[in-house]
Structure 1
């Protein structure tokens, strides 16, 4: 079967034509932001930059950065660039680490979001013939709406299940013949377990053979476990509230990076400490500039996500938009234990290699008598005797020591021991220290 596209002309656009389009849209966005958002006018004036100084994307480093704190400082409408009566929708982050950050949308912003989501879902295999079950919530979180907007464009049969009620979700899959599902990463793990609790084998007793997941960091090892459990082709979708939610980037069927829709988003990679731009294949912080956003244009928005831009433009799928590697982690995610930086993704990557280990785990950090201690809780896939548990825990501890450069205590628990998340993102790291490291 040939490659499917939602908008073949734009997805396979000639790179020279794409650059000309980016330059036009970039100049217009900078002018729009400068003239309508006080923060950008002040920040650009302080740098001595006027909109007319921006000739093309090569001038992007002349512009100020925007951060999550910028958005919080201007909450709720300080970053709005259109009259309020042109706003038709608002979304927000959870705000669990501070003031929520907002995403504002005009009619055209919703149209653009629908377009990039439709491209991403088509790339993930969604067709008009599919029955598509949407499990993220329909609320201030962008997840459910992003998938909905895109699936409506494609014309798929939508099951807008929303978040939670896992047994009902599985029953819907069976009753309606769901063929494709989308979810927060940790929730597809919960659905996998729920199906088995109900005596249902997802690979044999459902028709779900395609899935697109995001909103959390996940590793290749985790993807393989999910794919095997459902006999499903697994896709990775990227986005966040401040840009437009799911649909900013997605991997194609070759799974060699996520294509970023460069006609709507400029992407940079910077050194998170110095702010200097990095080249292809150099890992750093992803920075985005919107090219078509009306309600809330963003210039050089620092995502805090770590990845690389892949050097090669060529992709066997035929799309000409550059790719990024899967997100390795968030700058906010790294935890320091006895001076050593520990990435949760490195823990997951290691433990998911073991077929005896289930899909749930937890990282605990405690402090006793001024010393930090790292403990990893994992579940066995099936019940084990205590001797086998200790043997596996010792093996995991040694391998994690080699990966993390600090030796954790590992405890292997019985299946279904750790808490599950029905709605929202999983809490993998529990830091019980009273005083945080800087």
Structure 2
């Protein structure tokens, strides 16, 4: 089969490496891919939001199956367009992708169907939002309603922070039209857990849990990023918590989407907070998370293409797969200055074995990989224990270098503390 994977980051590299293991896969194209992905797929210079060009490419090249990985093309309706041409695709249609593309919609949906989440208010008027935060209990969480590359969330510890957050999102348009509406939520306390789940619209098959590290600097300091590293499994996600999530969150969400006439097929990401009152939904994503994918897929025991196609075809209950009992750790190497501003074009040195290195932001320049993004790559290692996986990942990271490179030195530290209690 000929497969096209839409996107060009570390998540897409992890998906491509997993798909390559399927005996059914003859050829993989990446649209647009990147300098590292070029070693595992044929990169095509078509951007992830160039929907008509993607559809034309798929038709002209007789692509058998398309994996739509990023949020924007899903929200824009790429799966709908491909299916209209008779090309099956992995990912939700635009009507279902709204679960991520509008936080206000997803919060209202949770309220309607009794799915546990933080208390919230929605505002389309900055003045009213400002008025609300003057009296709200601090800290408050301010979220841009639309897609914002995983960065449209501000945790305001003070009234001034809250006012500045509302101004930057709603008035300064830091995230463009995504900030026309904001959701202001109560601040939940507890450990965070990411759970990706395969679903065909009826059956839900959660993947192994993970823990992301969003802040740029050690000790969870610095600015929010797209993710500086992750580990799996998450020690806070016990079997009891998993059972409660299935009963109160996962199945009710799928049923709610069906009742709304927005059947969700693909990968549904549940961002959870394990509070004193039980697990609550912080956010939904309508696709694989980045960098969670880089620790989840290396632990998958099964054919990823079979699973994805079963999600599309409504036959997920017929596919046999499981996850390894091992642990995984991914450490992200970023360009100095990320997530604000950074220089590009520095040559990247990699170890001889790149089987577990997922490239997020490089391009090929005269046959040499050079930096082209904020998050440049992720090093993932697996091992029987989390301690071993963390140690292996950092040993491998010592073999990676480029000018102005930085990475967190404490990925997995909180999880290890929890395991040692």
Q: Give me the TM-score of the superposition, normalised by structure 1.
A: 0.25
The higher radius of gyration belongs to 1
Q: Choose between structure 1 and 2 for higher RCO, CA contacts under 8 A separated by at least 6 residues.
A: 2
Q: Give me the TM-score of the superposition, normalised by structure 2.
A: 0.26
